Structures are given as C-alpha cells and as structure tokens.
Amino acid sequence: MPNDTSCMNLNDELWLFRGDYTTRTPVVVLFGFLYSIIIICGVIGNTCVVLAITRNKALQTVPNLFILSLSCSDIVVCCISATITPITAFRKDWIFGPALCRIAPFFAGLSLCFSTFTLTAISIDRYMLICFPMKKPLSHKQAGYVIAFICLFCGSIVSPVIFKQKLDTFGKFCGLYCTENWEGNEYQRRIYGSILLFIQFLIPLIIIGLSYTLISLRIGQSMILKNAKNKKNNSNSSDGCENYLTDQQKIAIRRKQRANRMFIAMVIAFVVSWLPSLTYNLLRDYELLPDSVTSQEFLVGVATHCTAMTSTVWNPLLYAALNPQLRAAFIELIPGSVRQKLHLEQEKSCPLLNGNNLTGTELTQAGRTNKYGSTSIQVGPCKRADMQIMQSSCKRVLFLFLFPSFRTDFQSVEFFFSFSLSS
C-alpha cells in the first residue's frame, strides 16, 4: 500500500472532512518552533545539571544523585518523545521503522514513570532526614540501588507496550502507521491504561503530598520548640534578647526550607506540565471528550503534549533559581569570557566551585562525612548584604535557559495513529 500511487494522503482527508489544523503549514511551523525551543533548552539545561554534579564531588549528595537521574531521564525525553511524537503528529504516518515503533512508546512511558517515582524517592528521603534525624541516612550506594529498582520496576509495568505496538497499513491511505494492537479488546486496553495511570502518577503524587506536608509541619514545630527553649534560656540570663533563635539555628532552618521549596516546586512544575495531557488522554480513552475537542483531536493532543514536554525545562531553571550551590556550579560551566561580560567573575558576588571547594569567604561548602559515612554539604554563614549581591549577580545566568503531550503511559504514540474519519 505505501508504494501504491493511487493511495490517498491522510492529511488531505483530515482537512477535507474535519478541518484538522495540524495539516496547515502555519500550525506546523508554530509547534515546530516551540518544540525546538523545548528540546534545545531541555538538553542544554539538563546537560549542565549532569556536568555540574559529576564534576564537583561536593555536590554529589544523595538528593543530588536523584536530581542527576532525573536530568538523564529528561534528556531521553527530549531526544525521543519531544522529537518523534510531533513529527508523527503532523505527518500522521510512521517513518522511523518497526523497531522504534515498539521502543519509542516504551521509553516514553518509562521516562514518565521513572520521573514520578524518583520525585517520590526524593520526598521520602527528605521526610526521613528531617522527621527522623537520628536514623541512619540513605547512603550513596543505597541511593544507587533505589534508582536501579525504580528503573527496573517502571520498565516491568510499561513493558507490555513492546508487545502491543504494531506497524501496519491503514485503509486506502499512503504510508505505514504505528498503532496499538489489542486485538479488538478495548476494555482490556482501558483497564490497563487506567491501572498504569494510577500506579505511575496518582499513588506517587499522594505519597509526595503527604511527605512534604509532614515535613513542613515538622519544621514549623521545630522552630517553635527551639524558640521556646532559647527564650527560656535567655530569660535566665542577665542580658535579654528578643531574637530567641541562634544564628546557626536560623541558617539550618532556612537551608531546610529552601531545599523543601525547591523540591516542592519541582513536583508542582511536573504535575502542572503533565496534568493537561493526563486529563485529555484519560477522557479520550473512555470517549468522554466534548465535541468541541473531538473535532480538533490532533491539535489538542499536540498542544497538551507540548505542554508536558516543558517539564524537561523547568527543573534546571528551578535549580538555578533556588539552589545556590548548583547555581554556582552552572556559572562555572560558562566560558570565562562570557562570565566576564555578564559580570559573574567577581569572587564575592558569585563564588564558583573550584574542584571540591567554593572560592570566596562568604559561601563555603565542603563534602563532610558524618558518623554514618554519608556526605552532606555544609554552608557557612555570610553577610546578608553580600548574599543579596551574590544572588542578584548569579541570577543573570538564567538568560541561558529562559525560553519558556506525549501520552503519559504506553499509549502515548497510539494517540496520533487512531483515526476515525467521518464524512
């Protein structure tokens, strides 16, 4: 059929009978531009995260190992989901061969599942670290085991897609089409998709929400208890003091709050990015989409997928904005001439990583081993004015990243190849 000169072009039929806008050149150019920006920013930003962590031992903490794995997953998403899906969405036929017909949907589902469970692992690790500080923290080796387990678990629950994808012709239309083949068992497909959605998104989201709620309550409780204790001690001393928390306690609490804000922001950005695609595909599976959406099914699908792909961009931006150590490591990756033009060379305004140490006296960090053998970053106190100058100067590096859906499960690619033309 693909070589039959009498075959029909599917895009022509979609425009004729549905008025499908994904067949129009301006729409293709617009989304091509958006996807290009997402891919470029996502690959560059996440590559910077990988280089920053792997090149600086002081940054190789357990939470950052999870962040490293997330960045690797996002790079895979940029290379596969953000490239193959939009091309197929606008062409409609499959041009990537039979192997990728099976592999691409698998890696799409694997990346999403891996990201949600890695965010869950981060939240649980933070919960154990803050709410149970006397317990042995997660070691680097154990974190590696957790990452490997997440990868194997996600691969196992997404693996059916490999056996359900099929490359075949479609009616009288030109080309080959990669579709799911459930042998007419639509009920089975819906049940599997719903279970997968529940396991890889809803359950992790519940665990994450509960973990950070308990963490916030614990930090608030800790502030109250420490303030009360210091107030009591100060009341017994001859010199009264209205500020009952010591500077060291304030720094420790602010550090915990800053880390929690960053991780919570990561979760919010991920959920907001993927929620439109999740909702759309769930309603589509059960044929609950309104007529206004069904008439432009391909356009809405591409728009929600494009929104989901922005999740690969937000994390590097959040790291640069909310994590001083990663921000300094990012700046170190910039060529010296560019740093000088951006006024990022001043040692005081933006201390940079040099081997295992940060230059400058305001911000010092070192990988220190606690009694359990795990490494933690220690940030020394600095002057408030200098810190404000540092943050103001460091944030100039954000210009490198500031440029503002694939299916959320194994059914991702299938969306673009299920056609129900009506005359």
Q: Which ranges constitute the DSSP H helices of 236-286?
A: 247-285
Secondary structure in 3-state letters for 199-218: HHHHHHHHHHHHHHHHHHHH
Whether residue 341 lies inside any domain: the answer is: no
Report if residue 356 sits inside a domain: no
- Dump pLDDT digits (tens) for 307-323: 999 999 999 999 988 88
Would residue 392 count as lying in a domain? no
CA dihedral 315, 273, 163, 190 (to 10 degrees): 150
pTM for the model: 0.78
Burial class (CB in 10 A: 0-12, 13-18, 19+), 26: exposed
Residue 113 within a domain: yes
Return the pLDDT at 392. Answer: 47
- Tell me what the mean pLDDT of segment 31-52 comes to: 97
Report yes or no: 15 and 283 within 8 Å, Cβ to Cβ: no
Contact between residue 311 and residue 276 where contact means Cβ atoms under 8 Å apart? no
Q: What is the pLDDT of residue 170?
A: 86
Of 243-252, 338-347, 384-393, where does mean pLDDT reach its minimum? 384-393
Q: What is the pLDDT of residues 403-418, one digit of tens each?
A: 333 333 334 333 333 4
Domain range for residue 280? 10-235+242-325+397-417
Q: How many distinct structural domains can be found in the chain?
A: 1
In a domain, 359, yes or no: no
Per-residue pLDDT tens digits for 131-160: 898 899 999 999 999 999 999 999 999 999
Q: How confident is the model at residue 4 (pLDDT cuts 50, 70, 90)?
A: low
Residues in the chain: 423
Between the alpha carbon of residue 103 and those of residues 118, 249, 287, 354, 373, the distances in Å are: 22, 51, 27, 41, 40
Report the Cα 423 to chain-centroid distance in Å: 41
Q: Let me know: does 421 contact 15? Beta carbons within 8 Å.
A: no
| Residue 389 lies inside a defined structural domain of this protein | no
Query: According to the model, what pLDDT value does residue 73 have?
Result: 96
- What mean pLDDT, rounded, does the chain reach? 79
Residue range 384-393: average pLDDT? 43
Q: In the Cβ-directed half-sphere of 388, how many Cα atoms lie within 13 Å?
A: 3
CATH number of the structural domain spanning residue 403 = 1.20.1070.10
Q: What is the pLDDT of residue 150?
A: 98
Task: Give the percent of the chain with pLDDT over 70.
Answer: 73
Residue 271 lies in a domain: yes
In a domain, 381, yes or no: no
